[in-house]
Amino acid sequence: MSFGLKSEEYPTIVKYFDLPWLKAEKTSNHVLWIRWNQGDRLRFLERWERTLALVDGQGLVKPKVVRMLKNPDQFLDTIAQVEVAAILLTKGFEIELEAKKSGKTPDIFLIREGICIEIKNLHTDAVLLEQALTGNAEVVWLRDRLPSAVEEKYDQLPDSYPNMLVVFAPPEVQFDEFEDFFIDIPTTHNLGTGEVTRGKPKGFFYQERVDDTKIHTKLGAVIMWKDRTRRYLVNPNANIMVVEALLQKITS
């Protein structure tokens, strides 16, 4: 195995991907294959093994989840789903992955709380992230990626449930930039008096139809998720609110 990797160090990865898959040339476009065979300087494999093992220990890795993990186009979102699931388990939540709710299939369902969670990973993939650290990758701005990603996930939220969206943000993204997308409140400053005037909010949470009714009422809250930072925003216009105590528990 390349770069001194030992299969016994990653038993859960090997369990679900198996060594022939991890070595096969036909899977060489997959992020996991690249990390396995071309080096893992940023230690993604350790992180993925740890979270997969925790979720696997609870018997939550369904065949559908395995299929998505093996799909190179779905891997990043799905491994993010597994990472969030692992954190929720460590915080005492009872969860289900890929549960059927009101004709939709949320990524994670909090069983006791009855809350649906969708996950979106906005990280560049592991290859591009390493390139970015060496200055060899183009910068992709949050504002260029977040709108379509959020709309995609919003369409997957079920009706009649409180819903949350967790967005994995790149390390360089600041919370203010994230907040501005969801709660964009224009302000004007009077240089003479120092007075600050706030206008009508117009972010994602406040977008309206022509009859002035709010559009994005299925989404109760959103969490920006980074390696060492998790912060939330509550949608004041949600049909079903998400309790802040719950959000504080998840993000603590």
- Please indicate, yes or no, if residue 67 is contained in any of the structural domains: no
- Please indicate, yes or no, if residue 217 is contained in any of the structural domains: yes
The predicted-structure confidence for 201-225, as pLDDT tens digits, reads as follows: 788 999 998 888 899 999 999 999 9
- The 8-class DSSP code of residue 221 comes to E
Element (H, E) at 248: helix 244-251
- Please indicate, yes or no, if residue 172 is contained in any of the structural domains: yes
- Please indicate, yes or no, if residue 22 is contained in any of the structural domains: no
Number of domains comprising the chain: 1
- Please indicate, yes or no, if residue 137 is contained in any of the structural domains: yes
Judging by beta carbons within 10 Å of its beta carbon (0-12, 13-18, 19+), is residue 125 exposed, middle or buried? middle
- Please indicate, yes or no, if residue 11 is contained in any of the structural domains: no
Least Cα distance to 37 among 13, 68, 69 occurs for: 13
The predicted-structure confidence for 63-79, as pLDDT tens digits, reads as follows: 999 999 999 999 989 99
Neighbouring CB atoms inside 10 A of 120's CB total 23
- The 8-class DSSP code of residue 214 comes to B
- Please indicate, yes or no, if residue 70 is contained in any of the structural domains: no
Amino acid at 46: E
The predicted-structure confidence for 102-161, as pLDDT tens digits, reads as follows: 999 999 999 999 999 999 998 654 444 444 444 444 445 566 778 889 999 999 999 999
The crossing angle, in degrees rounded to 10, of helices 31-38 and 44-57 is: 120
The domain in which residue 110 lies consists of 99-251
